[in-house]
């Protein structure tokens, strides 16, 4: 129920979304920007539940997959809009070595560890620690991951701030500190469909740009095979805008083994201090545009290959193959076992920082 005194024009609205079986209250926070732009997030998994964005004509649509109620999120784990950690993506064999000590994680993706293990950050209740409207609407959530949770060393104290700026830009600011050497790789796992989830269409006609000259070829299990490969003359060359589905049916092994795209693209310059342009998606029909800026060294592009029709989300829509896409800023997969990749190590006294900006706009003409 919405708290007293909060109106439909308030920039921040806080309400109860549901309760966990143990009685823990899960909250929803609505952050409002300009022209109807609105972000809804829930404290379960610190997840983005909805993002409403106007099209060329000013019509609003929700552009991320999600569930209508908490029971839906609890019933099936699909990472819809979730904060993923302690380590996003895969770790080969669920094992890694740190300072001569080997750590074994639960293997929840065949022989590998995926997205934080059996009960990752996406399955945890987060705590709201701050909210405000100055200089723009924001909410900060925190979660403390105890030493050895899911096999990871060190107590990790994590915060995420969701902030609306510039009317239609969503900034995500992750931070973390540890009391022992550990590994950290946090990301947001939103599934985007800029045509609007309720429309029921897919994303194969979305136009995609990724500012990367190289990507990581992977095994059928999603583990990098070696060093980055050039995108030149491959279906992975998105340096110029191209429809997502234009080369999806190309009979190349890297596309076939994952039934589409599920690969890390290596951004030039590795990790940076300030966010820089990483990717752009446009739905030509509605004109909605999303630009991703990040300080992370990589972006995992996933074309929704394994959405299999087994989950019904908001608006009664069944989530089918290629109905949405993910752009997940992160360090590379299996980095703890690959000293040649950008490091995911975090030591006591250091602060993990990840900033990603999701800038929404509209193009005046299709393909602009």
DSSP secondary structure of 164-194: EETTTEEEEEEEEEESS-EE-B-EEE--B-T
User: Which range is least confidently modeled, 166-170, 185-189, 237-241, 318-322?
Assistant: 166-170
Q: Where are the domains of the chain?
A: 12-362
pLDDT of amino acid 352: 98
Q: What is the mean pLDDT of residues 181-202?
A: 97
Look at the domain 12-362 and name its fold.
Beta-galactosidase; Chain A, domain 5 (2.70.98)
Average pLDDT, the chain: 95
| pLDDT exceeds cutoff 50 at 6 | no
| Residues recognised as catalytic | 189, 328
pLDDT of amino acid 130: 98
* Span 113-126, pLDDT tens digits: 999 999 999 999 99
* Span 101-147, pLDDT tens digits: 999 999 999 999 999 999 999 999 999 999 999 889 999 999 999 99
Instruction: Return the CA Rg of the chain.
Output: 19
Question: pTM, whole model, 2 decimals?
Answer: 0.96
pLDDT of amino acid 366: 54
User: Which range is least confidently modeled, 67-71, 130-134, 188-192, 293-297?
Assistant: 130-134
């Amino acid at each position: 129920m919405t708290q007293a005194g909060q109106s439909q024009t308030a920039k921040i609205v806080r309400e109860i979304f549901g309760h966990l079986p143990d009685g823990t209250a899960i909250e929803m926070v609505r952050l409002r920007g300009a022209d109807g732009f609105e972000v809804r997030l829930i404290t379960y998994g610190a997840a983005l539940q909805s993002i409403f964005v106007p099209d060329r004509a000013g019509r609003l649509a929700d552009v991320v997959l999600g569930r209508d109620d908490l029971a839906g999120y609890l019933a099936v784990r699909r990472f819809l809009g979730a904060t993923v950690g302690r380590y996003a993506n895969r770790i080969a064999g669920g094992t890694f070595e740190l300072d001569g000590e080997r750590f074994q994680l639960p293997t929840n993706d065949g022989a590998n560890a995926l997205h934080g293990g059996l009960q990752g950050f996406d399955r945890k209740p987060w705590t709201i620690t701050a909210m405000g409207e100055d200089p723009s609407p924001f909410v900060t959530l925190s979660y403390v991951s105890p030493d050895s949770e899911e096999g990871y060393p060190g107590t990790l104290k994590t915060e995420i701030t969701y902030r609306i700026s510039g009317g239609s830009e969503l900034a995500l600011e992750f931070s973390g500190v540890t009391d022992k050497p550990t590994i950290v790789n946090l990301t947001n796992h939103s599934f985007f469909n800029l045509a609007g989830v309720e429309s029921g269409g897919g994303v194969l006609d979305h136009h995609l740009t990724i500012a990367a000259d190289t990507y990581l070829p992977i095994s059928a299990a999603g583990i990098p095979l070696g060093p980055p490969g050039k995108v030149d003359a491959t279906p992975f060359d998105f340096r110029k805008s191209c429809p997502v589905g234009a080369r999806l049916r190309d009979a190349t092994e890297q596309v076939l083994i994952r039934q589409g795209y599920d690969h890390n693209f290596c951004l030039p310059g590795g990790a940076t201090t300030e966010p820089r342009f990483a990717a752009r998606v446009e739905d030509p029909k509605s004109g909605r545009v999303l630009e991703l800026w990040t300080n992370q060294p990589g972006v995992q592009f996933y074309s929704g290959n394994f959405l299999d029709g087994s989950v019904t989300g908001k608006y009664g829509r069944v989530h089918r193959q290629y109905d949405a896409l993910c752009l997940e800023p992160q360090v590379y997969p299996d980095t703890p076992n690959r000293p040649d990749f950008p490091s995911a190590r975090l030591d006591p006294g250091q602060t993990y920082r990840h900033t990603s900006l999701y800038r929404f706009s509209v193009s005046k003409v299709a393909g602009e």
